[in-house]
Copies of this chain bind each other. A is one copy, B any other.
Amino acid sequence: MEDSTTSIEELGEFGLINHLTKWVKLANDTTLKGIGDDAAVIDIGGNEAMLISTDTLIEGIHFSLMYTPLKHLGYKAVAVNVSDICAMNAITEQITVSLAVSSKFPVEALEELYEGIQAACNQYKIDLVGGDTTSSISGLVLTVTAIGRAKKDAIAYRNGAKEYDLLVVSGDLGGAYMGLQVLEREKEVFKANPAIQPDLDGHDYIIQRQLKPDARQDIVTILKELDVKPTAMIDISDGLASEIIHLCSQSSVGCHIYDEKIPIDAKTSMTALDFNLDPSTCALNGGEDYELLFTIGQSDFDKINTNPNFTIIGHITHEKDGVYYIDKQGSAIELKAQGWRHF
């Protein structure tokens, strides 16, 4: 008899989510936005809305306790959810934390984890308001739900980009991916010979990008001060290429992005070259930078172009023109969805 079941790999992450939730019909008129953006949007009356985002980090999948200090893990679990709220152009005010952990973890280890959570709550001015703590058969599972707030007309969705808009990123890209490569290399060295100390010299910046990323809540404030409302926005958790494809797909537009414009820190580039990797590829396909990718109308060009927090990397085209990456030689390469590869 043939196996008539379907494997998760066949559908991929996004296909799986779409497949499992295709039955969803919204029954409450307080639900302004359901599945499909960085956060759900709930009407709270008046001119404000609440935003909800949830993410799970799993030992062995999203982090290795061999090189992830628990304090950093706690910080990162909060930061990645705050980043989702930032991606809606909103500010996080509360979080809940659900922790599943094997009883082999001593209380002192969990204290470190919560020190990281506390540090992130202080950093972003967030209240930890609930959650639960339970045991796990194997490994550590951390689920954070972030609750944010914004004026309804300030919320930036993924689907608002228009032809001729400019494509902008905050900060620089590829660092978190290269940090991971260094940590993985040193893990292999350590496994082969535990007497050898890890060689992380000179890699502080990229390792911090990997282990203790910050959500760009400051960018939400800066955009407000500049009086710029992004026409569409998403955070870069899976890599620039993947996020651009999401944004263009949901906005029904195409785009051109230019290799030479992609902001990459010198330390990221040098480490990539050490690893025989192309820095641009790391920025395009490496994930976890948690920078913001957004589009603006051309009238906001001056406000953004002169601000050191931002880089204009391309522009939006008609949907039929497709999503293209223009390399250093001027060749146009079509970007295709890769999804993420955790399964």
**Residues of chain A at the chain B interface (Cβ within 8 Å):** 5-11, 13, 16-17, 19-21, 23-24, 26-28, 30-31, 33-35, 39-40, 42, 44-46, 48, 50, 52-56, 58-62, 93-94, 96, 98, 100-101, 103, 105-108, 110-111, 114, 118, 121, 125-139, 141, 143, 145, 147, 149, 342-343
Contact = CB atoms under 8 A, between A and B. Distances in A.
Nearest to A137: B60
Contacts of A127: 24, 26-28, 31, 34
A23 B129 CA distance: 12
A134 to B, nearest CB: 6
B108 A31 contact: no
A11 B108 CA distance: 12
A39 B96 CA distance: 10
Given A28-B127, A34-B130, A98-B143, 7 more contacts: A10-B107, A13-B133, A16-B110, A24-B118, A27-B126, A55-B98, A138-B138
A304 to B, nearest CB: 29
Given A30-B93, A94-B52, A147-B52, A133 B20 contact: yes
A58 B48 CA distance: 36
Given A17-B133, A28-B94, A133-B20, A108 B56 contact: no
A250 to B, nearest CB: 15
Given A16-B133, A93-B28, A107 B56 contact: no
A291 to B, nearest CB: 20
Contacts of A5: 106-108
B28 A61 contact: no
| Total identical chains | 2
Main secondary structure of the interface of A (DSSP, over half): mixed
Smallest CB-CB A-B distances: 7 pairs: A5-B106, A40-B129, A44-B44, A6-B107, A143-B143, A34-B129, A40-B130
A93 B13 contact: no
Q: Which of A16, A21, A129 has the most chain B CB atoms closer than 10 A to its own CB? A: A129
Contacts of A143: 54, 56, 98, 143
9 contacts: A5-B108, A6-B108, A20-B111, A23-B118, A26-B129, A33-B129, A44-B45, A46-B46, A56-B141
Q: Which of A26, A107, A343 gathers the greatest number of chain B CB atoms within 10 Å? A: A107
The winner among A17, A59, A108, A128 for most chain B CB atoms within 10 A is A128
A62 to B, nearest CB: 7
A98 B103 CA distance: 23
A39 B130 contact: yes
Contacts of A23: 114, 118
Contacts of A61: 100, 134-137
A197 B93 CA distance: 53
B343 A103 contact: yes
B107 A31 contact: no
Nearest to A17: B133
A106 B59 contact: no
Given A28-B93, A40-B96, A110 B20 contact: yes
Contact of A46 (B45, B54, B114): B45
